[in-house]
Amino acid sequence: MRKAASVSFPLFLIKRVRGGANMKKFKRIFGKDAAVAWMLIAPNVVWIAVFTLFAIFYSFYLSFTEVDLFANQFTLVGLDNYKQSFADPVFTKSIVNTTVFTIFTVAFSMSIAIVVAVLLNSKIKGRKLMRAAFFLPSILPVIAVAQVWIWIYEPSYGLLNFFLEKIGVGNPNHPFQWLVSPDTAMLSVIIFSIWKSFGYNMVIYLAALQGVPRSLYEAAEIDGANAVQKFFRITIPGLRPATFFILITSISGSFQTFGEIYALTNGGPMNQTNMIAYYIYQYAFEFFKIGRASAVSVLLFILLFAITIWQWNSYQKKED
Amino acid sequence: MRRPTHMIGMLMVYAILLLTVVTTLLPLVWMITTSIKTPGEVFVYPPKWIPTEFAWSNYTTAWEMAPWNKYFFNTALYTASTVTGVLITSVASGYAFSKLEFKGRKTLFLAYIGTMMVPSQVTIIPVFIILSQMNWVDTYSGLIIPGLTSAFGCFLMRQFITGIPTELIESGLIEGGGHMRILASIVTPLLKPAVATLGIFTFMGTWNNFFWPLIVTNSDELRTVQVGLSSFQNQYGDGDWGAMMAAATMVSAPVLILFLVAQRYFIEGIAMTGIKG
């Protein structure tokens, strides 16, 4: 309800009353701008109805079927797809991998982001230039930068092993295999993702820092608080809304990690970096098991939904 | 202010920041320098930072190894259509959700924004089946049409339009303009920064999009640069790092240039979704 509307509202009715009694009734039931409003939102409503809402229901339906796309046959198979998924060790592994990947990537990306944002927020020369530098990896195409990291991780000529040898880590005769070895593949993917994502989070934190009142810091300084105390007592609590936002979007983003895996490892070696989004892709578009893939995607949906609700609740609880 | 401990503190801040900047930029510098090295210098150990002679030949080699002109044309078409569609539908729906009165406006808007949380892996399979029933798989229609509206775009535009004084719209109504005219002649001209922000975001998202073109196209005729780069990697990877890095640089260049030119809008857009979201 806008206050200003009370002035022009009667005028507006007089001008538009041409439509007669039916029009008036229509406006009373659906709101005064309903006709033009629905016209303006129609494309968005139709698109979301078909490509998201219908798609979600269809996804549930598909998860109970076995699909033969070439013959255009959909056979109901009950819970078979779910049972098969849970019986598949690769599926369980992909869930574990996704969880490990998410915890480490999100934790490190956010910690680096917050520290860098706080440091950048002081009176620093070249602040904007540095902000741009940190932000750069997050806007570049994942396939292209993954390519660069494959080259950096290359065991014999790669940059990373060269640097490590320089500081005396590693044995030149047995160079670290990074993406190739089952022991280090996940670590390599995580390092890549932290590099790619922290700058984006940093920009959000930097913007949020402008909203933390200076007076709080000044009061703390009078009380003799040092930099570390101020960071933990004022900065971190002041950034709670931003942290909540980043946490929700990062966790959801991490669970959907696909391009990174496709380009860096193809889920290997030995499914060591196979994650849930990649697993869905493989089943749907490489093995053509549409039903199996749909069952897993429904599980992913429920899982992400539950995580978001849980985060939302715990955020609200602490706010009170 | 001039205490020695303060000086040491500032020095440490600079040191940490510079170290992080160098680590962040190193891979990108490495991409570009490798792309202009001769094959002989690529495999020199220890690695050479600046090539002794610039070999632009990696770019011509890469360009000749795949139908890049097609990839770039497809991506340009895909990106331009998506940006146009998203801008138009976002301004229109953002205006309706912000300034028009209709039943269920708030609920509908919240539900719509909520759909942003639905992971693309959940909808991609059914959407693929819908498209295949319509014979739209591996066509421009299939590639472009599903992405012409955006919940994020609608949200962003609504945020901006809410900042426009309602009095401005009401005076337009009194002067006898309909809402469509007000939208075109009063609201849209005020939205330049918002349009720039959303346009840039959509450009970046579409240009960089890999998952969707990978699924919905499968012939070389329809491939975008990202899918092209990926298949280039699968075919020629591991061997010719110079050509690989040249290809990666080519595909990154448009986004990189846009970022350098319009950095302000990137940063503002992100800050805005973060704070007000």
Same domain, A64 and A188: no
| B47:A162 CB<8 A | yes
Please check the confidence at residue A27 and state whether its pLDDT lies above 90.
no
* pLDDT tens, residue by residue, A256-282: 999 999 999 999 899 999 999 999 999
Can you tell me the mean pLDDT for B37-42?
A: 83
Same domain, A219 and A242: yes
Best B13, B18, B20 residue to mutate vs chain A (most A CBs within 10 Å)? B20
Contact call for residues A128 and A220 (beta carbons, < 8 A):
no
Whether residue A9 is contained in a domain is answered as no
Specify the pLDDT at position A7. Answer: 41
Same domain, A177 and A199: yes
Q: Give the domain extent around A91.
A: 86-317
Q: Within 10 Å of residue B110's Cβ, how many Cβ atoms?
A: 9
CA distance B237 to B229: 10
Same domain, A97 and A152: yes
Among the partner residues B26, B123, B174, nearest to A8 by beta-carbon distance: B174
Specify the pLDDT at position B237. Answer: 64
Q: For residue B26, what is the enclosing H or E element?
A: helix B4-35
Can you tell me the mean pLDDT for B29-43?
A: 88
Task: Identify the weakest region by mean pLDDT among A18-27, A116-125, B7-16.
Answer: A18-27
> Does a cis peptide bond (omega within 30 degrees of 0) precede residue B46?
yes
* pLDDT tens, residue by residue, A55-77: 999 999 999 999 988 888 899 99
Same domain, A143 and A168: yes
Q: In this complex, is the C-beta atom of B143 within 8 Å of any C-beta atom belonging to chain A?
A: no
What percent of chain B shows pLDDT beyond 70?
96
Whether residue A160 is contained in a domain is answered as yes
**Chain A with chain B: Cβ pairs closer than 8 A:** 297
Q: How far is A27 from chain B (nearest CA, A)?
A: 8
Same domain, A58 and A120: no
| A290:B270 CB<8 A | no
Whether residue A231 is contained in a domain is answered as yes
CA distance B211 to B121: 9
CA distance B10 to B19: 14
Contacts of B34 in chain A (CB under 8 A): 151
Nearest to A191 by CA among A228, A163, A167, A166: A163
Best B270, B272, B276 residue to mutate vs chain A (most A CBs within 10 Å)? B270
Whether residue A17 is contained in a domain is answered as no
Nearest to A60 by CA among A72, A76, A73, A48: A76
Whether residue A242 is contained in a domain is answered as yes
Specify the pLDDT at position B23. Answer: 94
Same domain, A33 and A92: no
Q: How far is A246 from chain B (nearest CA, A)?
A: 8
Contacts of B193 (CB under 8 A, 6+ apart): B160, B265, B268
- Phi (first) and psi of residue B250, to 5 degrees: -60, -45
| A159:B26 CB<8 A | yes
Please state the domain count of chain A.
2
Which residues pair with residue A67 across a beta bridge?
A74
CA distance B247 to B241: 10
Nearest to B156 by CA among B121, B116, B189: B116
Can you tell me the mean pLDDT for A231-236?
A: 92
Please check the confidence at residue A2 and state whether its pLDDT lies above 50.
no
Please, which pLDDT band fits residue A227 given cuts at 50, 70 and 90?
A: confident
Specify the pLDDT at position A171. Answer: 78
Which of residues B1 and B143 earns the better pLDDT score? B143
Please check the confidence at residue A230 and state whether its pLDDT lies above 50.
yes
Contact call for residues B52 and B42 (beta carbons, < 8 A):
no
Please, which pLDDT band fits residue A4 given cuts at 50, 70 and 90?
A: very low
Best A3, A14, A45, A151 residue to mutate vs chain B (most B CBs within 10 Å)? A151
* pLDDT tens, residue by residue, B72-81: 999 999 999 9
* pLDDT tens, residue by residue, A143-157: 999 999 999 999 888
Specify the pLDDT at position B263. Answer: 87
Please, which pLDDT band fits residue A211 given cuts at 50, 70 and 90?
A: confident
Contacts of A206 in chain B (CB under 8 A): 271
Same domain, A146 and A33: no
Specify the pLDDT at position B277. Answer: 40
Whether residue A11 is contained in a domain is answered as no
Same domain, A163 and A281: yes
Contacts of A54 in chain B (CB under 8 A): 126, 130
Among the partner residues A44, A55, A132, nearest to B154 by beta-carbon distance: A44
Please check the confidence at residue A19 and state whether its pLDDT lies above 60.
no
Please, which pLDDT band fits residue B212 given cuts at 50, 70 and 90?
A: very high
Nearest to B184 by CA among B95, B249, B72, B260: B95
Same domain, A211 and A259: yes
Tokens of A252: 């959801």
Tokens of A218: 């000044």
Please, which pLDDT band fits residue A3 given cuts at 50, 70 and 90?
A: very low
Whether residue A134 is contained in a domain is answered as yes
CA distance B64 to B60: 6
Same domain, A129 and A206: yes
Contacts of B229 in chain A (CB under 8 A): 141, 143-144, 147
Q: In this complex, is the C-beta atom of A208 within 8 Å of any C-beta atom belonging to chain B?
A: yes
Please check the confidence at residue A98 and state whether its pLDDT lies above 70.
yes
Tokens of A90: 């690769």
Q: In this complex, is the C-beta atom of B114 within 8 Å of any C-beta atom belonging to chain A?
A: no
CA distance A263 to B190: 42
Q: How far is A317 from chain B (nearest CA, A)?
A: 19
CATH number at residue A120: 1.10.3720.10
Specify the pLDDT at position B8. Answer: 86
Specify the pLDDT at position A6. Answer: 38
Contacts of A207 in chain B (CB under 8 A): 270-272, 274-275
Whether residue A4 is contained in a domain is answered as no
**Domains of chain B, each with CATH number or no CATH:** 68-276 (1.10.3720.10)
Give the B window 38-67 contacts with A, CB below 8 Å: 42-43, 45-47
- Phi (first) and psi of residue B102, to 5 degrees: -150, 155
Please, which pLDDT band fits residue A11 given cuts at 50, 70 and 90?
A: very low
Specify the pLDDT at position B276. Answer: 46
Specify the pLDDT at position A73. Answer: 86
Can you tell me the mean pLDDT for B34-60?
A: 83
Can you tell me the mean pLDDT for B128-147?
A: 94
Same domain, A122 and A223: yes
Task: Identify the weakest region by mean pLDDT among A111-120, A122-131, B140-149, B250-259.
Answer: A122-131
* pLDDT tens, residue by residue, B234-269: 887 667 899 999 999 999 999 999 999 988 888 877
Contacts of A162 in chain B (CB under 8 A): 45-47
Please check the confidence at residue B195 and state whether its pLDDT lies above 60.
yes
